[in-house]
Structure 1
Amino acid sequence: MNFLTQLSHHTTDKPDSLCFIHREEQMTYEELEQLSNGLAAMVVESRQPLVVYGHMSKWMIVGMIAALKAGIGYVPIDTSIPDERVAKILQKIEPEYILVAEPLEVATEARLIEPGQWPDRAEFIKDVQPEDIAYTIFTSGSTGMPKGVAIKYKSLDDFTDWMVSLYGASEKNYWLNQAPLSFDLSVMAVYPALASGGTLVMIDKEMIKKPAEIQQQLTEYPISAWVSTPSFMEMGLLLPQFSQETYPNLRYFYFCGEALKHKTASQLKNNFADAFIYNTYGPTEATVAVTSVRVTDELLAKYNPLPVGSPRPKTTLSLSEEGELLIHGDAVSAGYIKEPEKTAQQFFKADGERSYRTGDKAEIKDGLWFINGRIDYQIKLNGYRMELEEIEEQLTKINGIRQAVVTPIEKNGKVQYLVASVSAEADDQLAQTVKQQLKSTLPEYMIPRKIRVVDSLPMTPNGKVDRQRIKEAVS
């Protein structure tokens, strides 16, 4: 059953149930149905996707669902994205319509649609095809130009079905979403929540700055599923009484977007002993995530670093001769919008299947896949080639260190030395202690010259550690 059919069933069965909560803003399934039907009828003749601009507003969700119903697909743009980048995205998409959930400051020839500028509509039916593009999410390009990753309806439906299969029925069905809607991690919360008849509870960027507001959401609503980056969870673990006893309905945790550290998973498992904790992996180009593994006590005892698990249905993985992970199957994107050369570089056909070169190094052990960093995330220092992520992994194993980022300091295009920024309690002796402990796990040339201790590491609006801001602070 495809997502739109599932959504229609919930509208019929539970029209007055809440499907969306963000602060004081709420929306029922019937409201979502009628609002999205009306907007779909308004934009259905468009030859371009619907751009949806805003933050955690219900109108963003209305626009997304309307675009799916109209068969034109959508492009989500969050307000945290700089205007210059927004302009580049609009130039690439050339939209006919932009739904502005918040004011847009960038000049455009598209028609701006404000919330409520269309009538509700009880019904809207269009024959949507599995090969049509459901959404396009823009990711960073190496040249500074954002790349638009186009995902098909079939890929979205398969992903949603898989996620729902990892989620048990819950009488109180509330999904917490941390990721901005322009970040594909949000897809992991939005669609499984609506497909399972649940309620989306949105965490906005202001709440992330004030963790007490996150705790308020957990207290006010019986959250059952938590979707976030591991970095966001590391912040969550600092909340007082963040445990199964305090939040008994919180049973499911899903992580993607970054490596889930053994220490983070262990602490979460200690706090929520009976929870279903899933470590997943996948690039935007393969519909959010393509592998999963449930984190159990046995898994934690056996593996460090943790595996990312086994492929989901209709997806296969393989390795190139260089050890690069290749993804094959229906999960793989249709390619980059208006970027034929970049598409040809990263995407290819293997035995008739769409395939994608991830740029990640991987291996398989005991039937489980492990990600071993980026092929392009290596540096050379004094003639030695090394992985920054390996150093970070060893740093986070040291007692008292919550997070760590290693930054190479360059001069004239050559790495001179390394600086480690660590999140920990202030301690005058910590830097010396860290260097001493690293000597037992790393060769001398991999030990950072400087150890910088901070209360917390900055995060991007997407909930990942902000490496660029850290680099600016240490350079």
Structure 2
Amino acid sequence: MTQQQSLVGSFVSHATGHPGDPALVWHGEETTYGELHRLAERERARIGRLAPDEDEPIGILAAKSPSTIALVLACLLEGRRFLLLPAPTPEGRTSHALVERAGIRHVLTPDSPRAPGPGAGDRPAEPGAEPGAARDTEPADISFMFTTSGSTGQPKIVPLSTGAVDRFTTWAGERFGIRRGTTVLNYAPLTFDLCLLDIWTTLKYGGRVVLVDPARATHPGHLLDLVSRHRVQLVQAVPMFYRLLVDAATGSGRRLDTVEHVVFTGDSMPARCLAELPHLFTGARLYNVYGCTETNDSFLHEVDGTEPADGPVPIGRPLPGVHAVIVDADGGIVTGPGTGELHVATPFQTAGYLDREQNADRFATHRHEGETRRYFRSGDLVRRDRDGRITLEGRNDHQVKVRGTRVNTHEVEQVLLAHPDVVEAAVLAVPDPVAGRLLRSVVRRAPDSRLNSLALRRHCAQRLPLTAVPSTLLITDDPLPRTSTGKIDRTPIERTCSPSQLQSQLSEPQPSEGTAT
């Protein structure tokens, strides 16, 4: 990898040299680099007046818009660390708890600052300021602070250094050929680390970002039209996005032939959806990218048609400068074929969570190939075959015992998704006084499908051990709940799969054959 360039310095250079170039597209309207730079400078002046203490972190309510992106740029210009906060729940509890843990006194929106506590008044933003140079920062200084999804517990705050961000954006820009005028789609929320590629790498290299409005992120026709109308060249998104595009294009004959790079990440790509992508993105190169919020992207696999048709897509090979080991249940490093937890060390990773007490069980030191390094424990189980190919098998917390037998719920979900009439699937292990744990599944079937639980149980029994066949199969025609990052939201599903809720559902007349067993 060549020497990294500064993200904010490169943005300022492009905004100064090519102010008329389009930087963002939002609701069909373009914001130029010059306009975005001026917005950022105005917000920079406001930050300086509101919070003059340079060590004080800033909170940003990250509703997607050009103004919010300008606010992030203002923090980068001012050399201030900032926490990107998701839209609050109706009670506002999640964001408020994060604000307190980060020691933040000021949470900003693009329009006006407000204190996180009650009773604070707003002050209007003042007119813009003349552009100035970015404040000098050290590579170790913190800039972005993301949060983990909280799917395995309380969300953790993940600080990233300026150097880590610059190294990542340099790699991403070079790897995917992002340059002046390259058009990139941003599907992920601003709080998601995928934006380091979608938005921040693109703005670093003078490209154009087409922002997807979260309010229309599940509208297939809108997404297809957005990619086509703006002649997008690079797309990165979770598998759900690609399934929506495939559904929208089916039968229409539409092709997205301007796209050069298709990147899927964040979840397992269903084999049936993957098979459709070369027909939709004619001529595009397809990639599976693996990474965690704590490490950023770590592995890359370019799909070349040699992947097993009925198995998971390999996660590929480590990125330049990335080191990884597979650790077995006894803590030993797997040197040949085998299964274990993936531990990763990257040039782009955090030095640790903001709350240092959370580091203890998430980082480990290993000596491997003559070097001692600090690795992040991903919690992901992977398998390496005799050819050295690594595939994702699930998570440590997806390993459960059912009637004394170890079962991987991720593997059960993949078997359910292999049925041609299954669109979405979630499998959970729920406590049972006799068996210890039992598997419950919720499945969304394809439109107009007559799939019932008997047929689905037969499908599972032919492919899984008896103990891995879910005891309960709920079939629905409605989409499964999703988090803001596009992953299946298991919290409401857990409530659906509770024994009392299941008993209530099973005692009611079912609307169609085999809706529940």
Same-fold call, TM cutoff 0.5: yes
Does 2:425 correspond to 1:404? yes
Does 2:84 correspond to 1:62? no
Kindly report which structure 2 residues correspond to 1:117-132, keeping only aligned pairs within 5 A, or say none: 117-132=126-141
Counterpart for residue 355 of structure 1:
375
> Structure 1 residues 103, 367: closer, same or farther in 2, change over 3 A?
farther
Asked if the contact 1:327/1:356 (under 8 Å) is kept, the reply is: yes
CA shift for structure 1 position 94: 2.2
Farther off after superposition, 360-369 or 128-137: 360-369
For 1:411 and 1:274, how far apart are their aligned partners in 2? 51
Farther off after superposition, 316-325 or 139-148: 139-148
> Structure 1 residues 282, 385: closer, same or farther in 2, change over 3 A?
same
Counterpart for residue 458 of structure 1:
481
- The residue type equivalent to 1:424 in the other structure is A
Does 2:330 correspond to 1:310? no
Counterpart for residue 304 of structure 2:
296
Asked if the contact 1:290/1:312 (under 8 Å) is kept, the reply is: yes
> Structure 1 residues 328, 60: closer, same or farther in 2, change over 3 A?
same
1:342 to 336, 358, 368: 358
Asked if the contact 1:96/1:110 (under 8 Å) is kept, the reply is: no
> Structure 1 residues 298, 80: closer, same or farther in 2, change over 3 A?
farther
Asked if the contact 1:3/1:160 (under 8 Å) is kept, the reply is: yes
CA shift for structure 1 position 147: 1.2
CA shift for structure 1 position 236: 2.2
**TM-score normalised according to structure 1 size:** 0.90
CA shift for structure 1 position 98: 2.4
Counterpart for residue 331 of structure 1:
348
Asked if the contact 2:59/2:84 (under 8 Å) is kept, the reply is: yes
Farther off after superposition, 141-150 or 81-90: 141-150
| 1:418 partner SS | strand
1:373 to 371, 374, 394: 394
Asked if the contact 1:395/1:401 (under 8 Å) is kept, the reply is: yes
Counterpart for residue 46 of structure 1:
54
2:241 to 232, 238, 251: 232
> Structure 1 residues 246, 120: closer, same or farther in 2, change over 3 A?
farther
For 1:48 and 1:112, how far apart are their aligned partners in 2? 20
- The residue type equivalent to 2:77 in the other structure is K
CA shift for structure 1 position 442: 0.9
Asked if the contact 2:423/2:443 (under 8 Å) is kept, the reply is: no
For 2:89 and 2:197, how far apart are their aligned partners in 1? 21
> Structure 1 residues 281, 20: closer, same or farther in 2, change over 3 A?
same
Does 2:395 correspond to 1:388? no
| 1:187 partner SS | helix
- The residue type equivalent to 1:214 in the other structure is L
Kindly report which structure 2 residues correspond to 1:39-118, keeping only aligned pairs within 5 A, or say none: 39-43=43-47, 45-79=53-87, 81=89, 83-101=92-110, 107-108=116-117, 116-118=125-127
Counterpart for residue 183 of structure 1:
192
For 2:431 and 2:439, how far apart are their aligned partners in 1? 7
Farther off after superposition, 352-361 or 126-135: 352-361
**TM-score normalised according to structure 2 size:** 0.83
Counterpart for residue 195 of structure 1:
204
Counterpart for residue 269 of structure 1:
278
For 2:467 and 2:356, how far apart are their aligned partners in 1? 42
Number of equivalences: 472
1:99-151 deviations in Å (ceiling 9; x for gaps): 21378998428988778435232222321111111211112458954310111
- The residue type equivalent to 1:174 in the other structure is T
- The residue type equivalent to 1:470 in the other structure is I
For 1:79 and 1:104, how far apart are their aligned partners in 2? 16
For 2:227 and 2:124, how far apart are their aligned partners in 1? 29
Asked if the contact 2:60/2:107 (under 8 Å) is kept, the reply is: yes
Counterpart for residue 31 of structure 1:
35
Asked if the contact 2:144/2:161 (under 8 Å) is kept, the reply is: yes
1:82-105 deviations in Å (ceiling 9; x for gaps): 510011011012224322137899
Ranges in structure 1 where 5+ consecutive residues have no aligned partner: none
1:348-367 deviations in Å (ceiling 9; x for gaps): 45556442111111233434
For 1:349 and 1:372, how far apart are their aligned partners in 2? 23
1:3 to 4, 7, 10: 7
For 2:83 and 2:128, how far apart are their aligned partners in 1? 23
> Structure 1 residues 96, 84: closer, same or farther in 2, change over 3 A?
closer
Asked if the contact 1:230/1:260 (under 8 Å) is kept, the reply is: yes
Ranges in structure 2 where 5+ consecutive residues have no aligned partner: 330-339, 499-517
| 2:130 partner SS | coil
Kindly report which structure 2 residues correspond to 1:410-425, keeping only aligned pairs within 5 A, or say none: 410-411=431-432, 414-425=436-447
For 2:376 and 2:159, how far apart are their aligned partners in 1? 13
For 1:443 and 1:131, how far apart are their aligned partners in 2? 50
For 1:43 and 1:388, how far apart are their aligned partners in 2? 47
Farther off after superposition, 385-394 or 234-243: 234-243
1:205 to 203, 214, 222: 214
Higher gyration radius (CA): 2
Counterpart for residue 463 of structure 2:
441
For 1:264 and 1:103, how far apart are their aligned partners in 2? 43
Farther off after superposition, 216-225 or 55-64: 216-225
| 1:239 partner SS | helix
For 2:95 and 2:344, how far apart are their aligned partners in 1? 30
Farther off after superposition, 377-386 or 6-15: 6-15
For 1:236 and 1:106, how far apart are their aligned partners in 2? 41
* CA root-mean-square deviation: 2.9
For 2:31 and 2:180, how far apart are their aligned partners in 1? 19
1:21 to 22, 25, 36: 25
